[in-house]
Amino acid sequence: MYFRLIRSNAKCDNLIAYYVIRKCVFILFFSDIANSIPPVVKIALFADDLCIWAVNRIIEYCKKWGFKINEKKTCYTTFTKAGLLKNYEKRYGMKIKIGNSHIPLDPNPTFLGIKLDPKINYKEHLKIINSKQISKINLIRKIKSFKWRSSFKINRILYMSLIRSLFDYCFIILQSGTQNIRAEMQKMQYRVLRIIKYFPLKTSIKTIHKELIIDLIDDRANKLFSKFITTRQSHEIIAQEIQDFLLKNSSRNNFKYKTPFDSIINTPNS
C-alpha cells in the first residue's frame, strides 16, 4: 500500500528545509503503524512501502492519523503452488474494498524493486533484469569493438557497476524458492563475461570467473547474505526470525526447498 500525507499548502522560504521537515513528519507519523497491528498479522515495512496481510487495521490507522490511501497504487496478490493459471483471477479473486473503491488483484506486484509472482519463482523479475541489461551489454560490445588497450578494464568496470549491481539486488531471492533463478542468472553472467573477454569455446565457467576475478552468482549471493545477517542480526525482528528458525529447523539437509536461513544453520555465530 502507498500513502499520501495530508499537509498544509503553506509555502516555505527554504525549499530544502521544507522537504526535510516534511519527510521527518511523515516518518514520525508512519513509523508507529507497526505497533497498531496485532502480532499475529504479518507485515513487511520499509520506509513508506508497506506490505500487509490485513486491511481493516490499516484503514482504521489512516483514518485516525489523517492519512489518505492512494487507491490507484494499492493492490493485493495471492500466492499459490499452482502458479498463474487461466482461472487465477476467478479462483483467487476477493472482494476487498477501501471506502467505495475495489482493490484490484495483481498477480505480479512490485515490492521494493522485486517483481513477485503467484508461484514465487521470480521468472517475471528475471525478465526485467534481462531487459535492463540489454542496453548495457550493447555498450560493452561497442567499447570492445574499438579495440582500445583499456577496453577490457573499462568493460569489466562497466559490468561490475551496471550489470552485476542488478544481480546483487536479488541476493535475498537467490536464497529462496527452487533455486532455479540462480542457474538462470549464472547463464546471464556467463554470456556477458564471454563478451568482455574472449575465451576458447570449451573453457570452464569457473576458469572464466577466476580469470576475470568475478564471483560465481551463487558465491556472490552467499557472501552478500552472510554480510546482511552479520550486520542486521541485532535487529529485533530479524533476530527473532533467525532464532525461531534455528529452534524449529535444526536439520534440514533432506528438504527439497531451502530458505535464506538454511545457510546460517552451521555458522559459528548462529
pLDDT band at 174 (very low <50, low <70, confident <90, very high): confident
Cα separation, 102 vs 112, in Å, equals 23
Q: Contact 167/185 with Cβ under 8 angstroms?
A: yes
Residues 6+ apart with CB under 8 A from 183: none
Residue 18 above 60 pLDDT?
no
pLDDT, residue 46, reads: 67
Which range has the worst mean pLDDT, 25-29, 88-92, 157-161? Answer: 25-29
Q: Contact 192/214 with Cβ under 8 angstroms?
A: no
pLDDT, residue 205, reads: 94
pLDDT band at 9 (very low <50, low <70, confident <90, very high): very low
Q: What Å distances lie between residue 46 and 91, 197, 268, CA to CA? A: 31, 40, 29
pLDDT, residue 214, reads: 95
pLDDT in tens, 127-168: 999 999 999 999 999 999 998 999 999 999 999 999 999 999
Q: Contact 241/259 with Cβ under 8 angstroms?
A: no
pLDDT, residue 132, reads: 94
Of the segments 36-45, 59-68, 217-226, 235-244, which one has the largest average pLDDT value?
217-226
Residue that is written with C-alpha cell 576475478 in the block: 213
Residue 125 class from Cβ within 10 Å (0-12 exposed, 13-18 middle, 19+ buried)? buried
Which range has the worst mean pLDDT, 31-35, 63-67, 98-102, 250-254? Answer: 250-254
More confident residue, 159 or 71: 159
Residue 137, CB-side half-sphere exposure with 13 Å CA sphere: 15
